[in-house]
Amino acid sequence: MKIGKISALLIWSENYKALADWYRQKLDVTEIEELTHPEDTGYGFMVGESYLWIGKHSQVHGKSKDPFRIMFNISVDSVEKAYQELVAKDVEFIAKPFKSPVSEKYFATFKDLDGNLVQLFGSK
């Protein structure tokens, strides 16, 4: 077996429509598809060159119970600028922009509508 790249990030939600709307409004992601099959329902988005799926899952209920378990990064040109833009859109940050202790990169961490954690990553 030869492993390739990670092909998609999947976020499951009981209220997938509201979560997808949140990503559209706050991050201005590009929707590329909507599936309405009873066993595969949700929205596909392009985030840069990555595929993000936000969908309905029968085993997912309520907000994220362990939001620190999985976190994903979104690359931005300027973490500080992206932080300011998202704060203006009422995005809840749990970590304001900070410099990595091991590189020249910066991070900032926020919660999505379901409480999942997302990090901005890039230059100051």
- Tokens 């929707």, residue located: 31
pLDDT of residue 121: 95
Is the model more confident about 6 or about 13?
A: 13
pLDDT of residue 3: 83
Q: In the chain, what are the domains?
A: 1-60 (3.10.180.10), 63-124 (3.10.180.10)
pLDDT of residue 18: 97
- Farthest-apart Cα atoms in the chain, separation: 46
- Write out the H or E segment, with its range, that includes residue 23: helix 16-27
Q: Each residue of 35-76: pLDDT tens digit? A: 999 888 999 999 988 999 999 999 999 988 898 999 999 999
- Tokens 């099959």, residue located: 37
pLDDT of residue 107: 97
Tell me the pTM.
Answer: 0.92
pLDDT of residue 6: 86
